[in-house]
Structure 1
Amino acid sequence: MGLRERKKLRMYQDVSDIAISLFLEKGFERVSVAEVAAAAEISKPTLFRYFSSKEDLVLHRFADHRSEAARVVGERRPGQSATDALRLHFLAGIERSDPVTGVNGDPQVLAFHRLLYGTPSLVARLYEYLERSEAALAAALGGDLEARLAAGQIVAVQRILAMDNWRRIARGEDIAKVRRDAVVAAESAFARLAAGLPAYEME
């Protein structure tokens, strides 16, 4: 990656971090895009060159995950099924407390999720990101109707597992217990996916 690309990525991250800090402090609806731009010391037009909407200032943290499932499928080892590769990847995320799995008790992560799931416009925008993830995964699985149906099921399972984990931790449940239960739930969910999607259990 060249210097220009690195600088662009830093700009994305820095502006997103500033915006999220303001949203957490004051509330998403109470902070204007102009206020974010001023805090980031850039113009409003410059901000919109990087982010197409106010919601994208928050959802930028999910940008790298839009093609993650597709990448996992594309990079799986020879002979490994798509569902098994995704299962192992999700379990590894639980182990390392990846916020995308919902198994993370860091106060800032919990606050971010409360902001995200407590703001209707952010939830709506999140679903657009999930649709893109689903489309990318479907393409990696072959791109036909069966692949699109499979991708929809897989993305839904991952989302529901993560939401359940986050909600339990947000309620104050012991994170170690949530982590253990999350592993059991993920194993069970992916076993059902594998049983229902036999075409993707083959190489």
Structure 2
Amino acid sequence: MSGLRERKKQRTHRALVNAALRSFKEKGYEETTIAEIAAAADVSARTFFSYFASKEDVIFHDYPERMRHVLDLMAGRRPGEPVTDLLLRTMRASLEQAADPDVFDMEEAAARMELMLTVPALQARALHLLFEQQLRLAKTLEQAYAGELDAVEAAAVVGSLVGAVKLAAMVSITRGDPREQVWEAITAAAEISLYGRRQLPAEA
């Protein structure tokens, strides 16, 4: 019974996200009401609030789960594993998880990206979450390398990596690249961040 209940919750969650994105595209983010999203998903407004606290939360609906996954990976440092190896392993495992179409949808990602780039409230929320993510990752990395890496070094490494990966993903998604090309862009950005200019084409 618990499995059936969980599948029903997942379907309702997905229906609300899909309904919200359709309404945002057709009417605009500010013009869309929570009541309209709920009606389009065939649920009550009260049900909406049992899944999301606000319209903003719909756009960032997968952030908590993705964050937990990355933090768990980073905290699971293998004995003697170098920082660069741990970070690349973490990133690649995250990409493998995102390769599941039920987890990551390119059309949805592009729609959400457009909203984050054009709606001031979503821009502010995205920036807040980016800072929060980097601080949590830096703290976890410092703890994984206790006595080897200090807080500033952990912050510098995480800031460089996250900045490179996020911007590369944004550029690739907004220009309409297919999933495989987005993954390649993210991987290349991570390697440039971690290994430096030797990952770039040789200068003429």
TM-score (ref. length: structure 1) = 0.69
How far apart are the structure 2 equivalents of 1:124 and 1:108? 20
- 1:121-149, CA deviations, whole angstroms, 9 ceiling, x for partnerless residues? 11222233334433443443329994477
Cα distance, 1:166–1:131 mapped onto 2, change above 3 Å: closer
Q: Secondary structure at the match of 1:67?
A: helix
- Give the SS at the match of 2:64: helix
What runs of 5+ residues in structure 1 fail to find an aligned partner? 193-203
Per-residue deviation, residues 73-119 of structure 1 (Å, max 9, x unmatched): 122333223442222332465688759xxxx9944432331122222
Contact 1:117–1:123 (Cα < 8 Å) also in 2: yes
Q: Which residue of 2 aligns with 1:163?
A: 167
SS of aligned partner of 2:48: helix
CA drift of 1:154 comes to 1.1
Q: Which residue of 2 aligns with 1:90?
A: 91
Structure with bigger RCO (C-alpha 8 Å, 6+ apart): 1
Question: Is the 8 Å Cα contact of residues 28 and 119 (structure 1) preserved in structure 2?
Answer: yes
- What's the CA shift for 1:52? 1.1
TM-score computed with the length of structure 2 as normaliser: 0.69
CA distance in 2, matches of 1:70, 1:79: 19
CA deviation vs aligned residue, 1:8-62 (integer Å, no higher than 9, x gap): 3433232122212221232211211111111122222331222111100111032
Show the counterpart of 2:65.
64
Q: Give the equivalent residue in structure 2 for 1:49.
A: 50
Share of identical aligned residues, percent?
31
For 1:28 and 1:53, locate their aligned partners in 2 and report how far apart those are by CA, in whole Å.
12
**Which residue of the partner structure matches residue 16 of structure 2?**
15
Cα RMSD over matched residues? Answer: 3.8
Alpha-carbon distance change, 154 to 34 in structure 1, aligned in 2, over 3 angstroms:
same
Q: Distance in 1 between matches of 2:38 and 2:89?
A: 40
Whole-angstrom distance in 2 between the partners of 1:17 and 1:173? 21
Amino acid at match of 1:31: T
Please tell me whether the aligned partners of residues 67 and 137 of structure 1 are also in contact (alpha carbons under 8 angstroms): no
In the alignment, does 2:134 pair up with 1:130? no
Change (3 A) 1:96 1:9: closer
Q: 1:6 to 1:127 in 2, by over 3 A?
A: farther
Structure 2 Cα separation of the partners of residues 106 and 51 of structure 1: 22
Contact 1:18 1:36 in 2 (8 A): yes
State the distance in 1 between where 2:86 and 2:99 align.
17
Counterpart AA for 1:78: P
Number of paired residues? 188
Q: Give, in whole Å, the separation in 2 of the partners of 1:105 and 1:50.
A: 20
Distance 2:178 2:9 in 1: 39
Distance across 1 between alignment mates of 2:8 and 2:155: 34
Contact preservation (8 Å) 1:18, 1:39 = yes
Q: What one-letter code is carried by the residue in structure 1 that aligns with 2:28?
A: G
